[in-house]
Chain A
Amino acid sequence: MEKQIAAPLTDRDIESLEAGDKVLINGVIYTGRDAAHKRLVETLERGEDLPVDLQGQIIYYVGPCPAKPGDPIGSAGPTTSGRMDVYTPTMLEVGLRGMIGKGNRSDEVVEAIKEYKGVYLLAIGGAGALLAKCVNKAEVVAYEELGPEAIFRLEVEDFPVVVGVDAAGNDIYVKGREEYAR
């Protein structure tokens, strides 16, 4: 059974999620990958305001394909989250609560998820065509010059994810692998 959650996230929703849960997201999420994260953190280091308010928000690690005429977005599956690990504790500190990506996170990130009560969600890597169908609207809200690496605001409907790391720090990758290793 899938759980439904609204985005941006509430603390109650986050607490209800456990590693391995299947979840459908409805609402607004933001995209951001390597170059956007670098800029966001540099902005904070200069003591300036971020171009988007991250309170309670979810960032989806994705650099989508260009949209064909008539479509809101092109293929839009997750990129490898580990490359964002160096920036993630800072993002959580300023209010980010959810991340969607694929692949393992560092111990520092898992600790920060526990500390700030966040959640790491997994989308299926390489399923960009299917995931694009869950996006109803996409608009660039910052860093347009970065092309696919710009920050987009996405309106998503029943966007499917699995809880990777829950707010208690449980990691589905560790659990899953142990079960099937021989």
Chain B
Amino acid sequence: MRELDVEQVKETVSDLCVQANYHLPGDVLEVLQRAADEEEESPVGREVLELIIDNAETAADEKMPICQDTGSAVIFLDIGQDVHFVGGDLEEAINRGVAEGYERGYLRKSMTEDPFERDNTGDNTPAIIHTQIVPGDQVKIALAPKGGGAENMSAARGLTPADGPDGVKDFVVDTVSSAGSNPCPPIVVGVGVGSTLEKAVLLAKKSLLRPLRQPHPREHIAELERQTLAAVNDLGIGPQGLGGRTTALAVHIEPHSSHIASLLAAVNIQCHAARHAEAIL
């Protein structure tokens, strides 16, 4: 049994909030550059991609947020089963970390207390926390600030087993098509397939943390990722929706065992500001 003080978690969460919002991950920058140099056919599209890269570099250099929508603080905690948290309430410590990070990083506070009354909580809490118990005595914290523009364009649907891979592909293409220019393309498309509704949605979100364009290890899933990416890019939406061949930078699909009656599919759309940072305690 390893004891871990929740103050350490708080400090780490606070740092991750700032880091994730100031620095676009290297893999995202690389893929954006490849799209600008080799893939995008539209001159306006290439120009937009270069501006997006320039923006990310400016943000990192000047220590400011890449995007003004610094998101809901979505946090994935993989907690080793041999860890014992001490020093206070874990969830409260995480929220203190978010509040501190958003304040000292000059990040925007975007959370409302109630979905209808809509008073701002003033410190970007509560964080959206997902926990998983894993073997070992470490804690992995991944933080992904999630902007509203792209999150709002996400969707889930109950398909039938007979719909198969093509059904999933069509659902993804429909979702991206109706999102159009709203989610700040080029986007990353996270897809969860199988299991139950809430699990499919969670898998879709988690797949966004995968290194960009790293194919799924199962060949038939990787093939569906390639086909779906090609179909999405054939929509012609392009960077910022101004027309082009780079509507999505990647499609990541996470499959899961499924009930004999079901084929659940969830699509979580991530904008080009595909921010995330992680730490291990």
A interface, CB within 8 angstroms of B: 35, 62-68, 74-77, 79-80, 82, 102-104, 122, 124-130, 132-133, 146-149, 162, 172-173, 175-182
Residues of A within 8 A of B182 (CB): 80, 82, 102-104
Shortest CB-to-CB span from B130 to chain A, Å, is 24
Residues of A within 8 A of B238 (CB): 176-177, 180
Q: How far is the CA of A104 from the CA of B66 in the complex (A)?
A: 23
Interface size of B by CB at 8 A reads: 50
Residue of B nearest to A66 (CB): B106
Q: Which of B120-167 contact A (CB under 8 A)?
A: 120, 122, 148-149, 152
- Contacts between chains A and B (CB distance < 8 A), count: 160
Shortest CB-to-CB span from A70 to chain B, Å, is 11
* Pick from A67, A75, A177, A180: contact of B59, CB under 8 Å: A75
Q: How far is the CA of A82 from the CA of B65 in the complex (A)?
A: 24
Residues of B within 8 A of A79 (CB): 69, 148-149
Residue of A nearest to B149 (CB): A80
9 interchain residue pairs of minimum CB distance: A176-B243, A181-B236, A180-B236, A125-B184, A103-B182, A129-B59, A128-B68, A75-B68, A127-B55
17 pairs, CB–CB < 8 Å, chain A vs chain B: A35-B118, A65-B64, A65-B106, A66-B106, A66-B107, A75-B65, A75-B108, A79-B148, A80-B182, A103-B180, A125-B240, A126-B55, A127-B55, A128-B69, A130-B51, A176-B44, A178-B236
Shortest CB-to-CB span from A60 to chain B, Å, is 11
B interface, CB within 8 angstroms of A: 41-42, 44-45, 48, 51-52, 54-56, 58-59, 62, 64-70, 106-110, 118, 120, 122, 148-149, 152, 180-184, 234-238, 240-245, 271-273
Contact B243–A147 (Cβ < 8 Å): no
Q: How far is the CA of A179 from the CA of B40 in the complex (A)?
A: 13
Residue of A nearest to B108 (CB): A65
Shortest CB-to-CB span from B218 to chain A, Å, is 28
* Pick from B59, B70, B184, B235: contact of A102, CB under 8 Å: B184
Contact B62–A129 (Cβ < 8 Å): yes
* Pick from A104, A125, A130, A148: contact of B109, CB under 8 Å: A148
